Structure 1
């Protein structure tokens, strides 16, 4: 378990990264319960407060954000917010 402070920008980028990951897992027929619970947990958290996340939740966030970052890099887009959130998760 680890506490992470989610700013408004980090909360937004994490949710933007997790949503496509959730739908991709769903389309492939994999379980989406963990990702769905994590999306609801992050969405319900107040901004600028520390929240406790399990190792599995951090791994899911890191995976989803890294995918979003790599997609943006391949399109030549900025990745500052994704990079900032990845640093918090490492």
Structure 2
């Protein structure tokens, strides 16, 4: 929605951004799409409403850094590899 209305969405960020941040932090592994869409919305707000969202920049930065290296499709098979070496 912010992509379509741009800066006019700025006054509503106080209601919207905390909800999106909450979705990002509380989403389970089964809710990866919800987390991804929430991060995309936050990115859009940063691009189109930079002045209005500036109070949330630190929180968004911490979220981005936390999930930047997270890959839900990666499986850690270290235990399986270790067991195979011993046999």
**Which TM class, normalised by the smaller chain length?**
0.3 to 0.5
Structure with the greater alpha carbon radius of gyration = 2
TM-score, L = length of structure 1 = 0.34
Greater per-residue strand proportion: 1
TM-score, L = length of structure 2 = 0.35
